[in-house]
Amino acid sequence: MDSFVIVTKSGKRDVYEEILPQIESLIRDETDLVANLANTASVLRMAFPDRISWVGFYLARANELVLGPFQGKPACVRVQLGRGVCGTAALSRKTVIVPNVDEFPGHIVCDPDSRSEIVIPMLRGENLLAVLDVDSSSLGSFDETDKEYLEKIGKLLEKKF
Ligand code: SME
For residues 71-92, average pLDDT: 96
Measured distance CA(106)–CA(114) in Å, rounded: 14
Please give the span between the terminal C-alpha atoms of the chain, in angstroms, as a whole number: 21
CA-nearest residue, atom 5 of ligand 1: 110
* pLDDT tens digit sequence for 32-62: 999 999 999 999 999 999 999 999 999 999 9
For residue 35 and ligand 1, the question of a CB distance below 6 A is answered with: no
Ligand 1 mean position, distance from CA 1 (Å):
32
Given CA atoms 32, 23, 154, 97 in this order, what sign does their dihedral have? positive
130 Cβ contact partners less than 8 Å away, ≥ 6 residues apart: 37, 57, 58, 59, 60, 65, 68, 121, 122, 157, 161
In angstroms, the CA 98 to CA 132 distance is 14
The CATH H-level (homologous superfamily) assignment of domain 12-158 is GAF domain (3.30.450.40)
Q: Which atom of ligand 1 is nearest to the CA of 87?
A: 10
- 87 three-state secondary structure: helix
Q: Which of ligand 1's atoms lies nearest the C-alpha of 75?
A: 7
Please compute the mean of the pLDDT values over residues 66-85 and round it to a whole number: 96
Residue 115 predicted with pLDDT over 90: yes
Tell me the per-residue pLDDT of 123-148, one tens digit each, with 9 for 90 and over. 999 899 999 999 999 999 999 999 99
Is 108 a pocket residue for ligand 1 (Cβ < 6 Å)?
yes
109 CA: nearest ligand 1 atom: 1
Which residues, at least 6 apart from 106, have a Cβ–Cβ distance to it below 8 Å? 83, 84, 88
pTM for this predicted structure = 0.95
CA of 85 to the centre of ligand 1 (A): 6
Query: pLDDT class for 3, splitting at 50, 70, 90?
Result: low
Atom of ligand 1 at shortest distance to CA of 114? 6
At 59, phi and psi to the nearest 5?
-95, 140
